[in-house]
Structure 1
Amino acid sequence: MWNPSKKTRTIASRILTVLFSITMVFHVVALFQLIPYQYLWGGRLSNLEEMYVMETVALIVNGFFLWSSVQYLRYINRGLVPIWIRILFGFIGVIFLLNTLGNLVAITNLETLLATPVTAILSAICFSLVPKYEN
């Protein structure tokens, strides 16, 4: 089984930290309506109220993902990553894999072309953090 090195896992965690931070900024920008809601969530939102609910949930979830990435970095620096956080990244990887499939069938081309590769990369990075690691 593939077992990434500490350096690979550290880089992966840092990439996730940066990407989740950028994603949170995107969701804040969406909440301030700087992006028309018609372009968000695969073009399936029908009004501003839906946008506020979905973007708020997305912001909270991405905050949790960001926290998880920071925790992984903390544990990898100590030399032992506990099983609960590895399972968590397996779960997050599945979420992004399903999101990738959803982006492929989005109504808006922007989401299909822009978000699909991002979520696919996020999924692959999350799965790279799942194998057991001990220093």
Structure 2
Amino acid sequence: MNSKTAIKIMLWMLLAIILFHLSIILKVIPYDITWGGRLKNDAEMYVFETASILINLFLCFILLIKGQYIRAFLSLKFVNITLWIFVILFGLNTIGNVFAKTNFEKYFALLTLTSAILILIILRKGKGQKGNS
């Protein structure tokens, strides 16, 4: 798989994840099946869901820069370091999802593991490409 394909898949997955978090904020999906079942009230849910949406939007912008879909307003070194941080975060989140209290969230381990692998592909394939390292 090439870097551009991996970026496109990640962007579509991130769109779905953002819509999922918006569904939680709008209470279409109950928040007690997310965040390891640890959220206690609406205030906590709004904070966690808003932070999650912002982080996912940030990752979208990083991927758009890496894929050269938008002008690089951040250095490519910063973009690559950020992607490595996300690989680590997705790896840790995969472990956390495996041990989540709800079965619903345990299935998200597949999504976070897939995200980590796709970002590794993006980083690996991007090394030899002009303007992507």
Q: Same fold (TM over 0.5)?
A: yes
Aligned partner (choices 15, 21, 25) of residue 27 of structure 1: 21
Report the equivalent of 2:72.
none
Report the equivalent of 1:52.
46
Letter matched to residue 112 of structure 2: T
Deviation >4 Å, runs of 4+: none
Structure 1, unmatched stretches of 5+, are 1-6, 76-80
Deviations 1:79-133 (A, max 9, x none): xx933322221111111001001001100011002x0100000011111222313
Aligned partner (choices 112, 119, 125) of residue 126 of structure 1: 119
- CA drift of 1:39 comes to 0.7
Any idea what SS the aligned residue of 1:103 has? helix
How far apart, in 1, do the equivalents of 2:99 and 2:9 lie?
Answer: 26
TM-score by length of 2: 0.86
Aligned partner (choices 6, 9, 15) of residue 3 of structure 2: 9
TM-score by length of 1: 0.85
How far apart, in 2, do the equivalents of 1:119 and 1:12 lie?
Answer: 14
How far apart, in 1, do the equivalents of 2:54 and 2:76 lie?
Answer: 24
RMSD: 1.8
User: Percent of counterpart pairs with the same letter?
Assistant: 28
Report the equivalent of 1:78.
none
Deviations 1:22-56 (A, max 9, x none): 11111111100111111111111111111111000
Letter matched to residue 109 of structure 1: N
How far apart, in 1, do the equivalents of 2:129 and 2:17 lie?
Answer: 30
